[in-house]
Homo-oligomer: A and B are copies of this chain.
Amino acid sequence: MQTTNTTEQQIIEAARKIFMQRGLSGARMQDIADEAGINKAMLHYYYRSKDKLFEIVFAEAVQMLLGRVNAIFAGDMPWKEKIVAAIDNYITSISENPYLPLFVLHEINQNPERMVQQFLHGPLFPNLRAFMMELAEESAKGNIRKVDPLQLMISIISMCVFPFVAKPLLTGVFQMDSARFSAFMEERKSFVSSFVLNALEP
């Protein structure tokens, strides 16, 4: 995050906030202008159209969400430590931006073609693939229970991300307030780690 308060930056930050909360179809250019503390016409002066502005915010969001997944499986720790570190890092990083996953998932569903572009420039998740290969090897060697690495991978991601996506539902159903939810996610780091490692014991 830059602290340079250039007008372009103010606009992008305002757009990020409004688009993330309300989505493309729910966001109003007036809301973004108000949030940025400038005139509505300025948005068009700097970024031409609502769609152009959205495209920038969305591409950045996809990078944050997916780039993070790959980065988290970087390094060459032993696989157990890698799982623990990845879960810890991912929950921490989403906590800092809890709207991000639902925003991206919703907008992809609205327009799946948008993803195609992202994947052309984007990473092919080399670290993630390497980690899945490693799991397959450990599985073959009998060090861990025989599992489909893809199923395992998606399970780990599900357990980390879904609670954020479903936060208002979960806090409603299980009668948590916001502080209780934060504590729950903090505890969740060690819960998921143990849960996964136990499940993998041969």
Contact = CB atoms under 8 A, between A and B. Distances in A.
A187 B105 contact: no
Contact of A125 (B161, B166, B173, B191): B173
Contacts of A110: 22-23, 26
A38 interface: no
Contact of A168 (B115, B147, B188): B115
A188 B152 CA distance: 10
Main secondary structure of the interface of A (DSSP, over half): helix
Contact of A199 (B161, B174, B196): B196
Contacts of A26: 23-26, 110
Contacts of A174: 150
Contact of A158 (B147, B148, B162): B162
B25 A22 contact: yes
A108 interface: yes
A152 to B, nearest CB: 8
Contacts of A169: 66, 104-105, 108, 115
Nearest to A156: B159
Interface of A: 22-26, 66, 99, 102, 104-106, 108-110, 112, 115, 119, 125, 145, 147-148, 150-152, 154-155, 157-159, 161-163, 165-166, 168-170, 172-174, 184, 187-188, 191-192, 195-196, 198-201
